[in-house]
């Protein structure tokens, strides 16, 4: 078995598609929402993964109904959050990590991100940066800059785990040391290493090991 060993001081994880499989519950919520607010929108073929829901909704509805529309979507997603599952290796990895060395950086609102993590069997992360905590979401670097700040580690000493091009762009713009692509939907985005899931990953507090 080949191993890649990367020296880093902190780990930053996207949530959906990295730690949690929320794709089907999200699709159900978005489809029900779109039937009312954006009938021409198809989640499975049109959504840009990794960005804040509010940023997508703003492109789909008139400004005067935005507040109502985003509130309805937030409720629909929260109502379906208990159907989320952990992705392979994710719970085992996060349980093994030094608490002060990692954070979750999600484009979901905080209640939704925490609900999905709990449904998937994750403990509450030591630090969470959510859509509620930033003025600009991914692909802007602000989420990952705040994630690194939350664990007291410089971005250039962090590795980021991402499954979506918007998140990879955000991590690159934040100046992180390594970007690890997760899964099969990277759409050609350039990463420093790729894993199918987090069962291929371990971390001892100073060295990130990726097994292939």
Q: What angle do CA 10, 98, 197 make, to 5 degrees?
A: 70
Catalytic residues: 14, 16
Overall size of the chain counted in residues:
212
Give the DSSP per-residue string, 146-198: HHHHHTT--GGGEEEEESSHHHHHHHHHHT-SEEEEESS--TT---SEEESSG
Q: What is the 3-state secondary structure (H, E, C) of 192-208?
A: CEEECCHHHEEECCCEE
Q: What angle do CA 167, 208, 138 make, to 5 degrees?
A: 10
**CA-CA distance, 202 to 146, in Å (whole number)?**
24
The SS3 assignment for 91 reads helix
The reported pLDDT for the residue numbered 1 is 67
- Digits of tens for pLDDT over the chain (212 positions)? 689 999 999 999 999 999 999 999 999 999 999 999 999 999 999 999 999 999 999 999 999 999 999 999 999 999 999 999 999 999 999 999 998 999 999 999 999 999 999 999 999 999 999 999 999 999 999 999 999 999 999 999 999 999 999 999 999 999 999 999 999 989 889 999 999 999 999 999 999 999 97
The token pair at 4 is 């890649």
- Cβ-based neighbours of 48, under 8 Å, separated by 6 or more: 56, 164, 166
The token pair at 92 is 């085992």
**CA-CA distance, 162 to 152, in Å (whole number)?**
20
What single DSSP character describes residue 122? P
- C-beta neighbour count of 56 within 10 angstroms: 22
The reported pLDDT for the residue numbered 212 is 78
């Amino acid at each position: 078995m080949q191993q890649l060993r990367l020296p880093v001081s902190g780990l930053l994880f996207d949530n959906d598609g990295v730690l949690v499989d929320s794709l089907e519950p999200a699709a159900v919520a978005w489809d029900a929402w779109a039937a009312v607010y954006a009938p021409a929108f198809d989640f499975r073929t049109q959504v840009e993964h990794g960005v804040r829901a509010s940023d997508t909704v703003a492109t789909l509805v008139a400004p005067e109904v935005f507040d109502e529309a985003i509130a309805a979507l937030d409720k629909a997603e929260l109502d379906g959050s208990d159907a989320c599952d952990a992705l392979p290796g994710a719970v085992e990895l996060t349980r093994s990590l030094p608490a002060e060395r990692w954070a979750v950086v999600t484009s979901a609102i905080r209640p939704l991100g925490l609900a999905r993590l709990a449904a998937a069997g994750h403990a509450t992360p030591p630090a969470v940066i959510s859509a509620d905590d930033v003025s600009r979401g991914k692909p802007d670097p602000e989420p990952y800059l705040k994630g690194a700040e939350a664990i007291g580690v410089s971005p250039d000493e962090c590795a980021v785990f991402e499954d979506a091009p918007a998140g990879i762009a955000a991590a690159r713009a934040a100046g992180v040391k390594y970007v690890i692509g997760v899964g099969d939907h990277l759409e050609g985005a350039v990463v420093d290493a790729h894993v199918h899931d987090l069962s291929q990953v371990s971390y001892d507090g100073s060295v990130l090991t990726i097994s292939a």
